[in-house]
């Protein structure tokens, strides 16, 4: 699946200034979308030059992390079309001319969509709704990035960042460490400055965990804000796509473009009429002043995480926020019911998706049989979740209905009641512990994570860089009630500005 790269400019191995044209340069790591748009408006940068700089960056760096699966052979032409629109004064908005990478479970008719599996060999018939929105906003789609196969829902002992199609993606901070979560390729690629924006997807943790572990920003939107049509599913009850970037403002801009109603996704019909259309406008530098933030410390699991959270609390207070320690209830009951419900929903939703993809497996039985015969698919770990899904009850089963109702209700109560009891604007928690060494025998070695309440409730969650354990990034997450995406983005941006914790990766081979 790795296509030859035809690259048209010279790029450095580090994400510092990269030549973008004969007369100017652009800092791929440090520039925000507004920075890039200002340069293009002033004639100091073109979308073609920016796209070529990113393509060269991929050639220079991606051999170290193996995040990019396939490039869009029309990317430079798309950038040229953006430049033509700009010359004619017909720009399509703040994402026009901005290079974007897509997780390879997002349908594209011009490129394969595999979900990391060698079983999905046909191209989708149409672009996903969010891809259409990106194109309507003028974005340049650079290509597709690796993911944990089937969004990390094939085996109970899987390794995040591995797929039969792309192999193992590495964490760019320390290359033998894991990039975490199913949007691992998106997280690693953005950390390594291979695009300005990547699209990730999350069922539980797969946007925020790779964002925390790779030292970037990741926003999991409210369920239904972004259409899931054309995205390979796990569960319609929890799945959502969202932006992953190096800067909160870039996530805010991207979310405004990809959100919107879609008749093919009933959840988008619930978007409130007053939902913001311009999230960047809400990013006020003093958003923390006067805010009440609950801190769910999850302390005692990792000393480095405890230190980073304490530092983050000091930052919040220094910027005028009131901090209240909280402990979210019902977590055991939520977790006990969530997984069983997801297995049943996976059977329903994935088989419905596969029925629309001719030329490949249509059922879990067929996928299981394919994997058993394939020389790569089961080479690292098994397919226990596939085997459970194959015999899972239908979504009319009373036990399933109780599991889903319990998980979702308690997740929403855990957030809503905590916010109300303490009169909070949002809750902050550590996103991740330091990345573990990739180990196929042991599988993923999660120590802690705070994604569950927002994921199961369908509420928004943003992870922002907060500190380090040695060279390994640690993030903190801000989450709040349904449709409060503008609020958590604003709080995340204010914290990002105050903490100034993000650093570019150095591609260290290993650490002791």
Integer Cα distance of 181 and 214 in angstroms: 11
Find the catalytic residue in 160, 186, 206, 414. Answer: 206
| pLDDT interval class at 121 (50, 70, 90) | confident
| pLDDT interval class at 227 (50, 70, 90) | very high
Half-sphere exposure of 285 (CA within 13 A, CB side): 3
Percent of the chain with pLDDT over 90: 93
Residue 19 has pLDDT above 60, yes or no: no
Residue 15 has pLDDT above 80, yes or no: no
12: three-class secondary structure by DSSP:
coil
User: What is the model's pLDDT at position 22?
Assistant: 29
Residue 421 has pLDDT above 80, yes or no: yes
Chain segment 474-511, per-residue pLDDT in tens: 999 999 999 999 999 999 999 999 999 999 999 999 99
DSSP-derived pairing of the beta strands 461-469 and 217-220: antiparallel
pTM: 0.95
Residue 350 has pLDDT above 60, yes or no: yes
User: What is the model's pLDDT at position 3?
Assistant: 31
User: What is the model's pLDDT at position 21?
Assistant: 35
Chain segment 29-85, per-residue pLDDT in tens: 999 999 999 999 999 999 999 999 999 999 999 999 999 999 999 999 999 999 999
Q: Write down the H helix ranges in 239-363.
A: 248-258, 303-318, 331-354
State yes or no: is 182 an active-site residue. yes
Integer Cα distance of 448 and 426 in angstroms: 20
Reading the block at residue 373, the tokens are 């015969």
User: What is the model's pLDDT at position 358?
Assistant: 82
Classify residue 171 by its DSSP letter. P
CA-derived radius of gyration, the chain: 21
State yes or no: is 451 an active-site residue. no
Question: Cβ(35)–Cβ(50) under 8 Å?
Answer: no
Interhelix angle for 364-373 vs 331-354, to 10°? 80
Scored b (16 or more CB within 10 A) or e, 412-443 reads bbbbeebbeeeebbbbbbbbbbbbbebeeeeb
Chain segment 424-466, per-residue pLDDT in tens: 999 999 999 999 999 999 999 999 999 999 999 999 999 999 9
Integer Cα distance of 274 and 311 in angstroms: 36
Integer Cα distance of 8 and 10 in angstroms: 7
State yes or no: is 206 an active-site residue. yes
Q: Average pLDDT, whole number, for the chain? A: 94
Contacts of 455 (CB under 8 A, 6+ apart): 202, 203, 204, 205, 220, 238, 411, 461
User: What is the model's pLDDT at position 454?
Assistant: 98
Integer Cα distance of 357 and 120 in angstroms: 8
Find the catalytic residue in 21, 31, 67, 182. Answer: 182
Find the catalytic residue in 21, 52, 82, 103. Answer: 103
Classify residue 236 by its DSSP letter. T
Integer Cα distance of 188 and 505 in angstroms: 10
Residue 115 has pLDDT above 90, yes or no: yes
| pLDDT interval class at 17 (50, 70, 90) | very low
Chain segment 304-336, per-residue pLDDT in tens: 999 999 999 999 999 999 999 999 999 999 999
Integer Cα distance of 484 and 461 in angstroms: 9
| pLDDT interval class at 360 (50, 70, 90) | confident
Chain segment 232-276, per-residue pLDDT in tens: 999 999 999 999 999 999 999 999 999 999 999 999 999 999 999
């Amino acid at each position: 699946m790795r296509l030859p790269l035809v690259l048209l400019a010279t790029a450095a191995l580090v994400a510092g200034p990269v030549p973008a044209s004969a007369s100017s340069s652009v800092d791929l790591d440090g520039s925000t979308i507004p920075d890039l748009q200002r340069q293009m408006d002033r004639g100091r940068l073109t979308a073609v030059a920016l796209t070529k700089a990113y393509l060269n960056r991929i050639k220079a760096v991606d051999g170290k992390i193996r995040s990019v699966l396939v490039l869009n052979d029309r990317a430079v032409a798309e950038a040229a079309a953006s430049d033509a629109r700009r010359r004619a004064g017909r720009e399509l908005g703040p994402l026009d001319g901005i290079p974007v990478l897509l997780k390879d479970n997002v349908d594209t008719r011009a490129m394969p969509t595999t979900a990391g599996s060698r079983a999905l060999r046909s191209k989708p018939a149409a672009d996903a709704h969010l891809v259409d929105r990106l194109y309507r906003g003028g974005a340049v789609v650079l290509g597709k990035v690796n993911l944990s196969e089937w969004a990390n829902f094939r085996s109970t002992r899987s390794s995040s960042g591995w797929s039969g199609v792309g192999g193992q993606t590495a964490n760019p901070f320390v290359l033998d460490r894991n990039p975490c979560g199913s949007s691992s390729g998106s997280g690693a690629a953005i950390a390594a400055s291979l695009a300005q924006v990547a699209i990730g997807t999350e069922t539980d943790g797969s946007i925020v965990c790779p964002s925390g572990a790779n030292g970037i920003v990741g926003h999991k939107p409210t369920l239904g804000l972004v259409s899931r049509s054309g995205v390979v599913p796990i569960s319609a009850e929890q799945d959502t796509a969202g932006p992953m970037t190096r800067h909160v403002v870039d996530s805010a801009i991207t979310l405004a473009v990809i959100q919107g109603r879609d008749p093919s996704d009933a959840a988008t019909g619930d978007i409130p009429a007053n939902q913001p259309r311009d999230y960047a406008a809400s990013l006020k530098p003093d958003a923390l002043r006067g805010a009440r933030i609950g801190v769910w410390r999850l302390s005692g699991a990792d000393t480095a995480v405890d230190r980073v959270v304490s530092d983050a609390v000091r930052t919040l207070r220094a910027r005028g926020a009131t901090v209240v320690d909280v402990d979210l209830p019902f977590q055991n009951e939520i977790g006990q019911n969530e997984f069983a419900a997801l297995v049943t929903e996976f059977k329903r939703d994935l088989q419905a998706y596969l029925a629309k993809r001719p030329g490949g497996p249509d059922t879990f039985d067929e996928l299981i049989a394919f994997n058993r015969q394939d020389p790569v698919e089961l080479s690292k770990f098994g397919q226990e979740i596939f085997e459970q899904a194959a015999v899972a009850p239908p979504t009319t089963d009373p036990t399933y209905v109780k599991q889903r109702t319990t998980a979702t209700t308690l997740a929403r109560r855990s957030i809503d009641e905590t916010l109300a009891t303490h009169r909070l604007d949002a809750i902050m928690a550590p996103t991740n512990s330091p990345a573990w060494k990739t180990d196929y025998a042991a599988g993923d070695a999660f120590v802690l994570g705070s994604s569950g309440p927002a994921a199961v409730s369908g509420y928004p969650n943003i992870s922002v860089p907060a500190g380090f354990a040695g060279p390994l990034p640690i993030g903190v997450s801000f989450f709040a009630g349904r449709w409060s995406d503008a609020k958590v983005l604003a709080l995340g941006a204010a914290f990002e500005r105050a903490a100034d914790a993000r650093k570019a990766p150095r591609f260290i081979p290993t650490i002791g």
